[in-house]
């Protein structure tokens, strides 16, 4: 379920989305925007985040680019949020 929401999110941002038709592998999808390198994305679905004493949330997964180059993206079901790691998108100032 989370993979569909994340795919829709990337489509709404103008990315082309290519899903993994196999149920194995390091990534669930590849996203690509013209002028950028394709990015591998692994989706983690989080149903109930843990709330710490200070009120911040712990999602149980890290929203990060892993050592193998795959971006780990979190879909938070209760909030309907797609959490994308820092550095995933480039700004015009970085070009």
State the alpha helices, DSSP H only, in the chain: 2-12
The residues pairing with 62 across neighbouring beta strands, listed in sequence order, are none
DSSP designation for 34 = T
Q: Residue ranges per domain, the chain?
A: 2-94
Specify the pLDDT at position 49. Answer: 65
Confidence at residue 92, expressed as pLDDT on a 0 to 100 scale:
40
**The listed CATH number (3.40.50.620, 3.40.1350.10, 3.40.50.970, 4.10.80.400) that belongs to domain 2-94:** 3.40.1350.10
Tell me the per-residue pLDDT of 34-76, one tens digit each, with 9 for 90 and over: 999 999 999 998 887 678 889 887 766 777 788 898 999 989 8
pTM: 0.78
The closest alpha carbon to 82, from 67, 61, 66, belongs to: 61
Instruction: Give the pLDDT score at 3.
Output: 93
Mean pLDDT in the chain? 85
Half-sphere exposure of 8 (CA within 13 A, CB side): 9
């Amino acid at each position: 379920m989370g993979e569909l929401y994340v795919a829709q999110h990337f489509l709404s941002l103008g990315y082309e989305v290519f899903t993994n038709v196999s149920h194995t592998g390091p990534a669930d999808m590849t996203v690509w925007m013209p002028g950028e390198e394709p990015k591998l994305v692994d989706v983690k679905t989080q149903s109930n985040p843990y709330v710490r004493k200070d009120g911040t949330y712990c999602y149980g997964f890290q929203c990060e680019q892993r050592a193998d180059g795959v971006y780990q993206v979190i879909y938070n079901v209760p909030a309907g949020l797609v959490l994308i790691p820092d550095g995933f998108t480039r700004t015009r100032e970085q070009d």
